[in-house]
A and B are shown apart, each in its own frame.
Chain A
Amino acid sequence: MEKQGFQELYVRNGQSWAISAVPLLAEQCFQEKILKDCSLGSRLVNLFAYQEDSEYIRIFAMLGKDNEGKIAIFSMRVSVAKACFQSLTVDLPQAQLFEREIAEQFALTPIGHPWLKPLRYHKNYRNVPDIWPEIATRPIPGVYPFYQIKGEEAHEVAVGPVHAGVIEPGHFRFQCHGEIIFNLEIQLGYQHRGIEKLMKDVSADRAVQIVESISGDTVIGHTSAYCNLIESLSGCEISPQAQVIRAIGLELERLANHTGDLGALSKDIGFLPTAAYFGRLRGEFLNLSMELCGSRFGRSLCRVGGVLFDIDNEMIKDFQKRLLVAQKDLKNISRLLFMKPSVLSRFEGTGIVTNKIAKELGLVGPAARASGCVCDTRTNYAFGMYRFNHIPISTVNSGDVYARGFIRWIESQRSIEFILDVLNHIPEGDLQLKTNSLKPNHMALAMTEGWRGEIVHVAITDAASRLARYKIKDPSFNNWPGLALAVRQAQISDFPLCNKSFNLSYAGHDL
């Protein structure tokens, strides 16, 4: 933690600091600083509200400088009586969803927000009248208008919330002209479980299980962020051994999902051989995860203070052998997929997100790297084992379905290399350490790179060392608007393919 001047607080991933250290700016200063920093290349990592006392709500902004690995934190106050603040969305599109979230959670109106609709359809945390009177009483999507195109030849297609496959619920509203999509509006919120609110009410034992179910396919990503956060708040430094095992778990999760996605992409274009082979390969990685911690999806691997399961020598040898086979298979199958002209003709040029749009929307993870953004939490804001074993950032520039598929192949290769590398020298140490109580009146930040991208958890403790606010940001929260823009001017029949190339989490967005 370092202080620069009077108004700056820069932190690094995994640090904790006293709330009093966070600069408090006037509203106008706050906004100018966000706009200025973002115009200079910073990215809005988080923007969230916290009810300080009965009179004030404090809004915290976290701006990430990706190339320096630093995060600037500052805040402003909104009085409960005023209950509104000036919206930044028009100048800074990436603030769009954050502002809607604040409006919904704390009933503060972002003045000048161009599309102020509910996000998850729940009552606000303050128990005051909501901005939208009927928000919690009507079924989603309520009585709020969808963006519409009028005209003789324009037509509207509504898809969901119940879909043809076994997937999560979400509503998609297309405005089309023939086969061309003019606009897509995505309405989620069906999976809202109130996780952020739950987190501060439940015991630590239950909290970790709730975190494991934020998004069922990103268990280790979210759980390790939660554990890093609580360890940081309680001043606990876990053993290198536990860090290695967490990293192995995280990379196995990435491998399973990336290969599964490549299979799903093949299936969507009707290319059967790779659809089946990638599916089998996904099973291999899930099985490794199963042997590591008894759960194919990495449940109960990470716990605060370390991990619950060890890797012995026999297991290391077994893992190495199986990973080498998987590495070869992955290479062969990926070649089959990415060398096939009929596959390339479907992938290339479909659903393009340009680098400019990716930056404006603040995309993260593989979706951003496929559009040429150099951002990877494992490298930019290195945490745990990644501080010692660096994973090079892979990027592709075309921003289409091909790029988002190809990046998954490259990243899978890097992940296997990483696991094979760390398996060679797993340090000795305690699996799990005991943690102290949390520091009072502190704030902490933990970011991990889940397979979808940057996961951000932030916690604030009160004077009695209890959690007073827990803020979760799943990468899907950043990336859903990316999908909406990717399909503009695309063929509506290509939408499922674009959707699969992002493969975002509904539950992670809805919390």
Chain B
Amino acid sequence: MGIQILLHLTVMLVLAPLLFGIIGKTKALFAGRWGAPLFQPYYDIIKFFKKGNVYSTTTTWIFQVAPLVYLATILVSSLLIPFGGLKAPVYFWGDFILFIYISGLSRYFIIIGALDTGSSFEGMGASREATFSCLAEIVLALDFIILAILSKQLILSEMVGGTILSSWPLFGPVLLLVGLSYFLVLLVESARIPIDDPTTHLELTMIHEVMFLDHSGWDLACVSYASMMKFFVLGSLFVNILIPFHNLSAILQTVVFGVGMIGLAIIVGIVESCIARLRLNRIPELIIGAFVLALVGLLIILIKGV
């Protein structure tokens, strides 16, 4: 199991920044530019790791611990999810609850880390993150409940595993609704347009980025890397739900999974290129929309029965 865990983490550590590179390239092509190199996210992380940390005298140990906890929680949560041919190294009954709570823990630490600086910008960011993610959490839980009912499983990797294959012919519409609402949650959680603009420099409009304004060096590398891996983790769940490839051989599964992940990055890039960001007070409406989609899916299952 040790080797399995190591392999799992290595795959994610190596590939996660590539997705951001693909998103960036897609956006650049839509804007008629060549854009930054595909491997720019890797260069950025290496650059951050080379720099020294700077700590404000108003911060405490919480500020320094938060990036590490954020990184650690993402690494742990990734172990519950299969990456194509790689089965989830850790699984047990009810582990989807652990998944939700781990993401809660990571959020809690970045929020108190941001509040620890005492900066009004970071305070605003923390308040926004708390508001929007606590709404998104409910949608995520609802999506998991639907998947659990469909697969009659309480293990996350099984919920999105082989049984999805048999659910598609009968419950295709439900899975589409789940996929769509999960996609919106994915955009909220990974702070992409139309919810948040990851490229903006305007502190007053940021949600996620603004909480890391005071981080530097290793800490900044940790949070940036963790954000990329968070997208990888959430994205791989999305691909598992929407593409039923689980009866293929392990190698083919990995290929399909890889293509699916690249496709997801391109879709996110296209979404970011085609619509403007929402006004901040409209974001809850979007999340409520995602909730309603999931709720309709749940209703279909409850009425039709599995």
Residues of A within 8 A of B (CB): 155-159, 164-165, 178-179, 266, 268-273, 275-277, 280, 340, 342-343, 345-346, 350, 491-497
For residue B235, give the distance in angstroms from its CB to the closest CB of chain A. 20
Kindly state the separation between the CA atoms of A284 and B194 in the bound complex, as whole angstroms: 30
Whether the Cβ atoms of B200 and A268 lie closer than 8 Å is: yes
- Among B66-74, B202-210, B294-302, which stretch is in contact with chain A? B202-210
Task: List 7 A-B pairs, Cβ < 8 Å.
Answer: A157-B204, A268-B202, A273-B273, A343-B276, A491-B279, A492-B204, A496-B204
Whether the Cβ atoms of B276 and A270 lie closer than 8 Å is: yes
Whether the Cβ atoms of A157 and B124 lie closer than 8 Å is: yes
Kindly state the separation between the CA atoms of A25 and B148 in the bound complex, as whole angstroms: 86
Kindly state the separation between the CA atoms of A98 and B246 in the bound complex, as whole angstroms: 74
Whether the Cβ atoms of B275 and A158 lie closer than 8 Å is: no
Kindly state the separation between the CA atoms of A158 and B272 in the bound complex, as whole angstroms: 30
Check B65 for interface membership: any CB of A closer than 8 A.
no
- Residues in A with CB closer than 8 Å to B152 are none
- Among B24-32, B55-63, B79-87, B160-168, which stretch is in contact with chain A? B24-32
Whether the Cβ atoms of B203 and A272 lie closer than 8 Å is: no
Interfacial residues of chain B within 261-284, with CB under 8 A of chain A in the complex: 272-282
Whether the Cβ atoms of A272 and B281 lie closer than 8 Å is: no
Whether the Cβ atoms of B272 and A272 lie closer than 8 Å is: yes
- Residues in B with CB closer than 8 Å to A280 are 32
- Nearest A residue to B207 via CB reads A493
Whether the Cβ atoms of A342 and B194 lie closer than 8 Å is: yes
Sample of 16 more A-B contacts, CB < 8 Å, known A179-B124, A342-B278 = A157-B124, A266-B276, A272-B27, A272-B31, A272-B273, A276-B31, A277-B31, A280-B32, A340-B275, A340-B276, A342-B194, A342-B277, A345-B279, A346-B277, A492-B124, A495-B204
For residue A501, give the distance in angstroms from its CB to the closest CB of chain B. 13
Kindly state the separation between the CA atoms of A494 and B304 in the bound complex, as whole angstroms: 46
For residue B140, give the distance in angstroms from its CB to the closest CB of chain A. 24
- Residues in A with CB closer than 8 Å to B203 are 159, 164
Kindly state the separation between the CA atoms of A232 and B275 in the bound complex, as whole angstroms: 52
Q: Which residue of B33, B120, B199, B276 is within 8 Å of A269 (Cβ)? A: B276
Kindly state the separation between the CA atoms of A277 and B32 in the bound complex, as whole angstroms: 8
Whether the Cβ atoms of A269 and B277 lie closer than 8 Å is: yes
Whether the Cβ atoms of A271 and B121 lie closer than 8 Å is: no
**How many chain B residues have a CB neighbour from A under 8 Å?**
31
Residue of B194, B274, B275 with highest tally of chain A CB at under 10 A: B275
Main secondary structure of the interface of A (DSSP, over half): helix
Whether the Cβ atoms of B204 and A493 lie closer than 8 Å is: yes
- Residues in B with CB closer than 8 Å to A350 are 279
- Residues in B with CB closer than 8 Å to A159 are 203-204
Whether the Cβ atoms of A496 and B276 lie closer than 8 Å is: no
- Nearest A residue to B206 via CB reads A493
Check B197 for interface membership: any CB of A closer than 8 A.
yes
Kindly state the separation between the CA atoms of A342 and B272 in the bound complex, as whole angstroms: 12
- Residues in B with CB closer than 8 Å to A178 are 127
- Nearest B residue to A165 via CB reads B201
Whether the Cβ atoms of B273 and A491 lie closer than 8 Å is: no
- Residues in A with CB closer than 8 Å to B277 are 269-271, 342, 346
Kindly state the separation between the CA atoms of A159 and B31 in the bound complex, as whole angstroms: 30
- Residues in A with CB closer than 8 Å to B274 are 273
- Residues in A with CB closer than 8 Å to B273 are 272-273
For residue A263, give the distance in angstroms from its CB to the closest CB of chain B. 11
- Nearest A residue to B280 via CB reads A493
For residue B129, give the distance in angstroms from its CB to the closest CB of chain A. 13
- Nearest B residue to A492 via CB reads B204
Check B193 for interface membership: any CB of A closer than 8 A.
yes
For residue A202, give the distance in angstroms from its CB to the closest CB of chain B. 38
10 closest A-B pairs by CB:
A276-B31, A270-B277, A271-B276, A270-B197, A496-B202, A164-B201, A269-B276, A342-B276, A493-B280, A342-B275
One digit per residue, 1 when the CB lies within 8 angstroms of any chain A CB and 0 when it does not, for chain B 282-294 equals: 1000000000000
- Residues in A with CB closer than 8 Å to B123 are 155
- Nearest B residue to A277 via CB reads B32
For residue B270, give the distance in angstroms from its CB to the closest CB of chain A. 11
Also in contact, A494 and B279, with CB within 8 A (given A272-B31, A342-B194): yes
Q: Which residue of A155, A164, A345 is within 8 Å of B120 (Cβ)? A: A155
Whether the Cβ atoms of B120 and A156 lie closer than 8 Å is: yes
Interfacial residues of chain B within 119-150, with CB under 8 A of chain A in the complex: 120-121, 123-124, 127
- Nearest B residue to A343 via CB reads B276
- Nearest A residue to B277 via CB reads A270
For residue B216, give the distance in angstroms from its CB to the closest CB of chain A. 15
Residue of B275, B276, B282 with highest tally of chain A CB at under 10 A: B276
- Residues in B with CB closer than 8 Å to A496 are 202, 204-205
Whether the Cβ atoms of B201 and A491 lie closer than 8 Å is: no
Whether the Cβ atoms of A179 and B202 lie closer than 8 Å is: no
Whether the Cβ atoms of A157 and B202 lie closer than 8 Å is: no
Kindly state the separation between the CA atoms of A429 and B275 in the bound complex, as whole angstroms: 52
Kindly state the separation between the CA atoms of A273 and B26 in the bound complex, as whole angstroms: 12
- Residues in B with CB closer than 8 Å to A340 are 275-276
- Residues in A with CB closer than 8 Å to B193 are 270
- Nearest B residue to A158 via CB reads B120
Kindly state the separation between the CA atoms of A280 and B275 in the bound complex, as whole angstroms: 20
Whether the Cβ atoms of A270 and B272 lie closer than 8 Å is: yes
Residue of A156, A273, A493 with highest tally of chain B CB at under 10 A: A493
Kindly state the separation between the CA atoms of A482 and B203 in the bound complex, as whole angstroms: 22
Whether the Cβ atoms of A491 and B32 lie closer than 8 Å is: no
Kindly state the separation between the CA atoms of A112 and B278 in the bound complex, as whole angstroms: 44
Whether the Cβ atoms of A273 and B30 lie closer than 8 Å is: yes
Q: Which residue of B120, B199, B200 is within 8 Å of A157 (Cβ)? A: B120
- Nearest A residue to B194 via CB reads A342
For residue B268, give the distance in angstroms from its CB to the closest CB of chain A. 13
Kindly state the separation between the CA atoms of A85 and B202 in the bound complex, as whole angstroms: 42
- Residues in B with CB closer than 8 Å to A266 are 276
For residue B131, give the distance in angstroms from its CB to the closest CB of chain A. 10
Kindly state the separation between the CA atoms of A37 and B30 in the bound complex, as whole angstroms: 54
- Residues in B with CB closer than 8 Å to A164 are 201-203
- Residues in A with CB closer than 8 Å to B276 are 266, 269-271, 340, 342-343, 345-346
Whether the Cβ atoms of B275 and A157 lie closer than 8 Å is: no
- Residues in A with CB closer than 8 Å to B278 are 342, 345-346
- Nearest B residue to A491 via CB reads B280
- Residues in B with CB closer than 8 Å to A268 are 200, 202, 205
Kindly state the separation between the CA atoms of A340 and B280 in the bound complex, as whole angstroms: 18
Whether the Cβ atoms of A276 and B202 lie closer than 8 Å is: no
Residue of A270, A340, A346 with highest tally of chain B CB at under 10 A: A270
- Residues in A with CB closer than 8 Å to B199 are 270
- Residues in A with CB closer than 8 Å to B30 are 272-273
Interfacial residues of chain B within 1-56, with CB under 8 A of chain A in the complex: 27, 30-33
Kindly state the separation between the CA atoms of A466 and B276 in the bound complex, as whole angstroms: 55
Kindly state the separation between the CA atoms of A266 and B279 in the bound complex, as whole angstroms: 13
Kindly state the separation between the CA atoms of A83 and B201 in the bound complex, as whole angstroms: 47
Kindly state the separation between the CA atoms of A269 and B197 in the bound complex, as whole angstroms: 8
- Residues in A with CB closer than 8 Å to B32 are 273, 276-277, 280
